[in-house]
A = this chain, B = another copy of it.
């Protein structure tokens, strides 16, 4: 008989059907003449309850089943006499695959997130983390589906990069030089002897590669790992995380904002439609306001707010911020949250930021002091997307690079696209972990990544 996954069995509405399934024991309760066994196979949040009568072969062994043990069951679907579930399985045959010892760390009790991080290899077996990682999987698919349905092409941008600066933070070095005595030249490591013949790092963004492809294929996106070697232990930072970066040819800032809004709306609607059961767990136990937040994000019309107007609103708010607000200063998390959570009470797209706080590739506006940048702020997490129209004018781009001390020689290929058929184009980046935190209410980035990497932490 072919095995059926528990998610499929629970979708059934025909009592009397016979099933063969396998899974892990969550709990066992014995009465005089039978045992209830809750079994989960990871395919969904719910367990299936098995009724094992003492008339079963090897019933004595069944009474030894511990939490975490593995079992194969053949039985008939019947309507449950207990409450809490519609169906249960009357076992006709139960075969023990393996017995977990009592030292199994996931005994039925509440575990702290901190403890579960120390057993990241086992935590997806819990309800909460199983749900989180099923949602992560579904939303990954939603990312691909959103873009493919709109004619975007997916691009695998490189992870190891020779660019000394992609404009966003500290980098990890990648090397095959001997760690204790690297070949040296003039007292410095001789990168000519390194694998790539020069110093290389882990990428901080796929954007520049994506621009090359957008200016060839039209609409493209990347979705891959990116890295920051920042020694900061906060609940929002990890050294390794996944970014979604669409890039669109023939697209200005206004259209860029429209796509960003449509994208966030799509993702929040998608998770509500496709993951109702897993989502319910978070709405019940992690963040009581979760569904309201998601509904707001999925259905509000997002505010369009120039940076200058945002500064005015913040200065007139009467609120005392830790960081003062003034033209030319970047908005802090506290400002972003005030705008989206307190002032507008819905998502806000702030745009036209001061030139001096933004990277070289953003398009300079006609006022000469702002660039065509935009950030999407949402209740719950603040900034979820950052993007811009890119500077397509060769002369302006070059003078921006000079101002910022960037070598034109290293970026000859980037400049090439402004020489040969340059066109207006735009793009943005979404931190995928921040999205998962938004839709689950999980507050620590370590808890939405299968095996998180943070300073001094690389177990597993």
A196 (CB) vs chain B CBs: closest residue:
B458
CB distance from A105 to the nearest CB of B (A): 8
In the bound complex, CA of A233 to CA of B244 (Å): 32
B161 touches A458 (CB 8 A): yes
Chain B residues with CB under 8 A of A182: 179-180
A327–B397 Cα distance when bound, in Å, is: 63
User: Which of chain B's residues have a CB closer than 8 A to the CB of A172?
Assistant: 160, 174-176, 195
Bound form: Cα–Cα A358–B225 in Å: 30
Interchain nearest-CB distance for A188 vs B (Å) = 5
> Which residues of A in the span 17-36 have a Cβ within 8 Å of any Cβ on B?
22, 24-25
Q: Judge whether A98 is part of the interface by a CB distance below 8 angstroms.
A: yes
Give per-residue flags for A151-184: 1 if the beta carbon is below 8 A from chain B beta carbons, else 0.
1011111111110000000101111110110101
Is B173 touching A174 in the complex (CB atoms < 8 A)?
yes
Indicate whether A419 sits within 8 Å of B100 (C-beta atoms), given known contacts A174-B173, A450-B158.
yes
Judge whether A137 is part of the interface by a CB distance below 8 angstroms. yes
In the complex, A134→B218 CA distance in Å?
11
The reply to whether A202 and B174 contact each other, CB–CB distance below 8 Å, is yes
List which A128-162 residues lie within 8 A (CB) of chain B. 130, 133-134, 136-137, 140-141, 144, 148, 151, 153-162
- The stretch of A209-217, A306-314, A333-341, A381-389 that contacts the partner chain: A209-217
Mask for A1-26, Cβ within 8 A of B = 1, else 0?
00101010000000000000010110
A394, closest chain B residue (CB): B98
> Are A155 and B174 neighbours in the complex by a CB distance under 8 Å?
no
User: Contact mask A412-426 → B, CB, 8 Å, 1/0?
Assistant: 011011011111100
Given contacts A180-B184, A423-B98, A458-B161, A122 and B156 within 8 Å (CB-CB) = no
Q: Mark A395-425, 1 if CB is under 8 A from B, else 0.
A: 0000000000000000001101101111110
Q: Give the total of A residues in contact with B, Cβ under 8 Å.
A: 105
Within 8 A of B (CB), among A108-125: 119-122, 124-125
Instruction: Decide: A156 and B413 in contact? CB cutoff 8 A.
Output: no
User: CA of A250 to CA of B40 in the docked complex: distance in angstroms?
Assistant: 13
Question: Counting CB contacts under 8 A, is A345 at the interface?
Answer: no
Given contacts A104-B420, A173-B176, A459-B413, contact A212 B141 (CB under 8 A): no
Whether A449 sits at the interface, judged by CB under 8 Å, is yes
> Are the C-beta atoms of A460 and B187 separated by less than 8 Å?
no
| Chain B: minimal CB distance from A447 (Å) | 14
- Closest-by-CB residue of B relative to A182 is B179
A429 within 8 Å of B (CB atoms):
no
Q: Is A125 within 8 A of B216, CB to CB?
A: yes
Chain B positions within 8 Å of A136 at CB level: 154, 156
Residues of B within 8 A of A460 (CB): 158, 162, 209, 212, 413
Do A449 and B156 form a contact, CB below 8 Å, given A180-B189, A423-B22?
yes
Q: Are the CB atoms of A242 and B198 closer together than 8 Å?
A: no
* Interface check A328, CB cutoff 8 A: no
Chain B residues whose CB sits within 8 angstroms of the CB of A227 once the complex forms? 159-160
User: In the assembled complex, how far is the CB of residue A251 from the closest CB belonging to chain B, in whole angstroms?
Assistant: 9
**Taking the complex as formed, is A41 at the interface, i.e. its CB lies under 8 A from any CB of chain B?**
yes
Q: Which residues of B contact A414 (CB under 8 A)?
A: 121
* Chain B residues, CB < 8 A from A160: 172, 202, 227, 239-240, 453, 458
Known A70-B422, A98-B423, A212-B450; 8 more pairs at CB < 8 Å: A121-B416, A121-B417, A122-B417, A136-B154, A173-B174, A179-B182, A179-B189, A180-B189
Could you show 16 A-B contacts with beta carbons less than 8 Å apart? Answer: A41-B218, A42-B249, A70-B423, A97-B421, A98-B422, A120-B413, A121-B414, A136-B154, A140-B144, A156-B225, A172-B176, A175-B175, A179-B188, A196-B456, A197-B457, A413-B460
The 9 nearest A-B residue pairs measured at CB: A124-B216, A42-B217, A42-B218, A162-B458, A196-B458, A137-B153, A197-B456, A121-B413, A121-B212
